[in-house]
């Protein structure tokens, strides 16, 4: 039996319009509005799905993901500047090389979701990919 393939990751947000603006600017892609509370971005074989439950008529509030989402990128410095340029974008740790060899920076979106951007030439995959 083939292994499952990850195809969508939810990023909970309380303001779908602000999320679409932030992620469009940072990712360099306008994405697509799927419903009143969902805005999707293609991310290399998986979908990053910004989801505002209230805008979709659900009776609960969005809560940030408890841990980081990791993005592999070819130009780390460009993404760092894009995050810095966005209102509410927060850089938690500047670009540095981790003990396992990845070159990355840690940041957050305006809604409390944690993000990490990693230089795709330095990805540590433990031989799983």
This prediction has a pTM of: 0.95
State the CB neighbour count (10 A cutoff) for residue 126.
Answer: 6
What is the predicted pLDDT for the residue at 85?
Answer: 97
Q: What is the CA radius of gyration of the chain?
A: 15
Identify the pLDDT of residue 129: 87
Question: 66 burial class (0-12, 13-18, 19+ CB within 10 angstroms)?
Answer: exposed
Predicted pLDDT at 49: 98
The DSSP symbol for 45 reads T
Domains present along the chain, CATH in parentheses: 8-119 (3.10.180.10)
Mean pLDDT of each 10-residue bin along the chain, 129 residues long: 94 98 98 98 97 98 97 98 96 97 98 98 94
pLDDT value at residue 100: 95
Could you give the C-alpha distances from 35 to 38, 72, 96, 100, 118, in angstroms and in order?
A: 5, 27, 38, 40, 30
């Amino acid at each position: 039996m083939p292994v499952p393939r990850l195809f969508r990751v939810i990023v909970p947000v309380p303001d779908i319009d602000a999320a679409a603006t932030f992620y469009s600017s940072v990712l360099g892609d306008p994405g697509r509005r799927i419903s009143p509370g969902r805005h999707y971005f293609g991310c290399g074989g998986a979908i990053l799905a910004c989801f505002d439950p209230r805008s979709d008529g659900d009776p609960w509030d969005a809560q940030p993901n408890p841990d980081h989402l990791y993005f592999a990128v070819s130009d780390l410095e460009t993404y760092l500047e894009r995050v810095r340029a966005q209102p509410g974008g927060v850089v938690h740790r500047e670009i540095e090389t981790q003990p396992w060899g990845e070159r990355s920076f840690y940041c957050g979106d305006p809604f409390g979701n944690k993000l990490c951007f990693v230089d795709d030439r330095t990805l540590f995959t433990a031989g799983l990919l």
